[in-house]
Structure 1
Amino acid sequence: MSSKLNEGRVAIVTGAGQGLGRAHAHAFAADGAAVVVNDYDADSANTVAQEIRDAGGQAVASVGDVADWAYGESLVATAISEFGRLDTLVNNAGFVRDRMLVSLSEDEWDSVVRVHLKGHFVTLRHAAAYWRAESKAGRTPAARIINTSSGAGLYGSVGQGNYSAAKAAIAELTIQAAAELGGYGITANAIAPSARTQMTVGAGGAMAEQMAAPTDGSFDAMNPANVSPLVVWLGSAQSASVTGRVFEVEGGKISVSDGWQRSVEADKGARWDVAELGPVVEELLAKAPVPMPVYGAR
């Protein structure tokens, strides 16, 4: 009996031509899954798919824009036509256009939100439609969605208002999907990874220095492959009881990130007067948890 949790399963990984996506694709293949390697760049997608096949795994490349409605549908269809099914969707594709809010252009906002947020929704929607049909036909799947948020989306990041907003929305989209799709045998979770990728290294300055690989042979905490084991586990049938959660992953550390929760409250039982609210709000904030600091804030 195979010890591989994803033996016989089929996974789509978007943005798998490099960085985190490439690491995820290789990790799923090593764990027994057949992988559809998506990327916008044909050379990158084909290279990763070939690497997996050369290592003895199963993979096919699919080149296209994940935020395009028709392509999203065809991406799901590729998994089914090539491997006969789809079990796991890993939404990872994205890029950055960093700028302070007062300098951010409309195109820089639209393009980043489109690829990250719409790109997650399009593939999720088409995969979920397939799984719902399977469930209604009496073939309830052990389906898994793993979305990619970010610490920037959970806590904010100076100079990344477009990226942070999109990643925050992805975290909430994950919670929404978990609530709506659970009845069809679908779970949805998100990760907020810290790893060395083109996006993080390209940021330059202190961020690039922090992300640099160690030269002394010590554990490379920023290696993208460190993130993949949790993604692969979440993509397996074994993770059936876990849904609607966001996990932060950095090096060998995994943590659960809790979203908006009601913490402290004051109830007058009647409408508040504006003049009396100052001390009330001050007392509430004194009792409430201190927010996590925004990345890059002084």
Structure 2
Amino acid sequence: MTGICAGRVAVVTGAGRGLGRAHALALAAEGAHVVVNDLGVAADGAGASAGPAQRVADEIRAHGGRAVAHSGDITTTDGAASLVATALDTYGRLDTLVNNAGFLRDRMLVNLDEDDWDAVIRVHLKGHFLPLRHAAAHWRAEAKSGRTPAARVINTASGAGLLGSVGQGNYSAAKAGIIGLTLVAAAELARYGVQINAIAPAARTRMTERTFAATMAAPADGEFDAMAPENVSPLVVWLSSADSAGVTGRVFEAEGGRITVMEGWRPGPTEDTGSRRTPAGAGEAARRLLATAEEPGPVYGAR
């Protein structure tokens, strides 16, 4: 099998359904050997099943690709370590990590309890950190042994992490944290041949079908399905490949046929008195600066 990822080994977390499944299939179609990870939980994180990961791995093999299922919990040290070990033990190498696993427990802040906060932060933020941590340790060891890899990490952020989303304080905080983690990891790991980027996808998945039901309905036959998760995967595949050399520390929005490079926090209007201000003086300066500053994008769901 040939393609831009031919011979590369890719791990995809949360690959049993939705975006993760689309990414795994697209990577395999471009020649990657894929480790399909999914804990098989419900949309709110309850339960577990090896079925979703195994079905996607079987689907890849049925189309002539190579894949192995992994149903471990990547929010634990043992689960994340076994994920990386599965790639190395099965295929002898690891080239790409796509962090995608996640679920939702949406509540307005006054109704958001600690368990719902912890669960969402855990699966999204810790579920990115631990696989990245174990993959990075392997790649650093390779680089120090004189085998500098062309390694790639694609993290999954969200517009909620960029702008916020009403009713999703836990999810928005986790996704914003993923962006920060991406920037730090890209800076720290570049010396070891590792490139790390993030995507903020918009697609019709199990996680979004209730929130965006009115705008994410499937189109009529023959029309372009702008919200199909498969539309996001080509960018993920390219970022996973050696062809993306030199691209790191970036955040991309991807939806339908649209790709946008997101430009993060940058200094805007500023004043410096060279001395300490009074509270009233600080307020006056803030008002002047805000008058010339760009308005932030609206929080999703705000009225």
> TM class by shorter-chain length?
over 0.9
CA drift at 1:77: 0.5
Q: For 1:175 and 1:294, locate their aligned partners in 2 and report how far apart those are by CA, in whole Å.
A: 23
Residue of structure 2 equivalent to 1:225: 230
Residue of structure 2 equivalent to 1:27: 26
Q: For 1:171 and 1:287, locate their aligned partners in 2 and report how far apart those are by CA, in whole Å.
A: 27
Q: For 1:38 and 1:3, locate their aligned partners in 2 and report how far apart those are by CA, in whole Å.
A: 23
More helix by share: 1
Instruction: Determine whether 1:131 maps to 2:136.
Output: no
Map Cα deviations across residues 44-72 of structure 1 (whole Å, 9 max, x no partner).
00000000000000000001111011110
Task: Mark the runs of 5 or more structure 2 residues left unpaired by the alignment.
Answer: 41-49
Instruction: Determine whether 1:281 maps to 2:286.
Output: yes
CA drift at 1:239: 0.9
CA drift at 1:216: 4.5
Instruction: Determine whether 1:235 maps to 2:234.
Output: no
Q: For 1:82 and 1:216, locate their aligned partners in 2 and report how far apart those are by CA, in whole Å.
A: 41
Secondary structure of the residue that 1:200 maps to in structure 2?
Answer: coil
Instruction: Determine whether 1:52 maps to 2:60.
Output: yes
Instruction: Determine whether 1:159 maps to 2:167.
Output: yes
Residue of structure 2 equivalent to 1:10: 9
Aligned runs of 1:136-155 on 2, under 5 Å?
A: 136-155=144-163
Residue of structure 2 equivalent to 1:88: 96
CA drift at 1:296: 0.2
Q: Do the aligned residues in 1 keep the contact of 2:2 with 2:31 (CA within 8 Å)?
A: no
* % identical aligned pairs: 65
Q: For 2:294 and 2:236, locate their aligned partners in 1 and report how far apart those are by CA, in whole Å.
A: 29
Runs (4+) of structure 1 exceeding 3 A deviation are none
Residue of structure 2 equivalent to 1:193: 201
Q: Do the aligned residues in 1 keep the contact of 2:160 with 2:300 (CA within 8 Å)?
A: yes
**Among 113, 125, 140, which residue is 1:117 paired with?**
125
C-alpha RMSD of the superposition: 1.0
Map Cα deviations across residues 174-232 of structure 1 (whole Å, 9 max, x no partner).
001000000000010000000000000033xxx11211111252110000000000000
Secondary structure of the residue that 1:256 maps to in structure 2?
Answer: strand
Residue of structure 2 equivalent to 1:64: 72
Secondary structure of the residue that 2:37 maps to in structure 1?
Answer: strand
Q: For 2:130 and 2:281, locate their aligned partners in 1 and report how far apart those are by CA, in whole Å.
A: 47
CA drift at 1:123: 0.2
The alignment's TM-score, normalised by the length of structure 1, stands at 0.97
CA drift at 1:3: 6.1
One-letter code of the match for 2:148? T
CA drift at 1:278: 2.5
Q: Do the aligned residues in 1 keep the contact of 2:72 with 2:82 (CA within 8 Å)?
A: no
One-letter code of the match for 1:266? E
Q: For 1:169 and 1:38, locate their aligned partners in 2 and report how far apart those are by CA, in whole Å.
A: 22
Instruction: Determine whether 1:247 maps to 2:255.
Output: no
Task: Mark the runs of 5 or more structure 1 residues left unpaired by the alignment.
Answer: none
Q: How many residues align?
A: 294
